[in-house]
Structure 1
């Protein structure tokens, strides 16, 4: 069954990106894995936003997952992490929709000072649930066929998005957003090449 695992809104600052709000649907993963998987999805969302040019979209394939990202001209960014079968047009339309809704509630003058804890945006969870079925969502988005003319760049792996010489393992070890437990989970999953092949 096609599935969206994460939907996030971030603000791209000059040298970093910060999460403004995220919603997750991780029931298909084991209970004890969910915390680490959520941390990794947040980490990947942040990393991909930081490496996406302003006013552009891209889709990054990693193992059986797809990460769709859109960074608007005003530096507000949205990310959808889903399985490969999920329709990319619907994913990008969802991103555009939630960013527009977020802007109505939180004007651009507030983004720099917002923290995820302070941001009250339940619409993100509603959209995550509503768009789980891309066929149903696609009927809604057919009205919105005018997905802007921005070209979507497709990358086959997260490695293609990283800057020259950067290694994912190094980024993970340096990350302050990942707990020691999640870093250990990454090493174990990488050795076993199972469960979280996303990492």
Structure 2
């Protein structure tokens, strides 16, 4: 089952420690007693990844998923989050992270649990796969229908030959008698 556990927008200055500006988690797959420590670990991991990854800008987006989540939708989701965050949150508010309100991140984590929503190429690929299955079934039924038609043609030919023989036999039988 593909799953996104955490999405974070992190302020990563060139020197110093990173600060999580906005964060959303989905810890429903963990037990109630594990959720607190798992959430803290994901926040720690997000900050550590942002600190150790060189970036051109001060902002970084971090996603934590299971192994089955595809890479391309994850990167497109991260790009979309950073674009929306920079458009809605002024850079002057980065100095006070508690005042930042970016509630859209919660919608992203819910909406993009299905990677086909994040990646239109995956969505089109799935539609193509479904269409291919339908076409294969249609071709199989056409071939079966063709075999049935061939069978009907053979039966029709045999029936035609039998009716000709019946006609000839009936004609011979009737030639000896006179119908009044």
- The alignment's TM-score, normalised by the length of structure 2, stands at 0.64
CA contact 2:23–2:105 (8 Å) conserved in 1: yes
In structure 2, the residue matched to 1:78 is 61
1:93 aligned onto 2:94: no
Greater strand share, structure number = 1
CA contact 2:89–2:102 (8 Å) conserved in 1: no
In structure 2, the residue matched to 1:7 is 7
Runs of 4 or more above 6 Å deviation: 140-143
1:41 aligned onto 2:42: yes
Q: For each residue in 1:180-199, what CA deviation from the matched residue of structure 2 results, as whole angstroms up to 9, or x when unmatched?
A: xxxxxxxxxxxxxxxxxxxx
Count of aligned pairs between the two proteins:
123
**Offset of residue 105 of structure 1:** 1.1
**Offset of residue 141 of structure 1:** 8.0
Q: Please, which runs of 5 or more residues in structure 1 have no aligned partner?
A: 55-72, 144-199
In structure 2, the residue matched to 1:109 is 92
1:2–1:142 distance in 2 versus 1, CA, 3 Å? closer
**Offset of residue 74 of structure 1:** 2.0
SS of residue matched to 2:30: coil
Give me the whole-angstrom Cα distance separating, in 1, the residues matched to 2:101 and 2:46: 20
In structure 2, the residue matched to 1:123 is 104
Give me the whole-angstrom Cα distance separating, in 2, the residues matched to 1:142 and 1:121: 27
- The alignment's TM-score, normalised by the length of structure 1, stands at 0.58
- Structure with the greater relative contact order (CA < 8 A, sep ≥ 6): 1 or 2? 1
CA contact 1:12–1:76 (8 Å) conserved in 2: yes
Give me the whole-angstrom Cα distance separating, in 1, the residues matched to 2:59 and 2:116: 27
In structure 1, the residue matched to 2:18 is 17
Question: What root-mean-square deviation, in Å, do the aligned CA atoms of Structure 1 and Structure 2 show?
Answer: 1.8
Give me the whole-angstrom Cα distance separating, in 1, the residues matched to 2:89 and 2:99: 11
Q: Please, which runs of 5 or more residues in structure 2 have no aligned partner?
A: 125-180
Q: Which has the larger radius of gyration?
A: 2
**Offset of residue 118 of structure 1:** 1.9
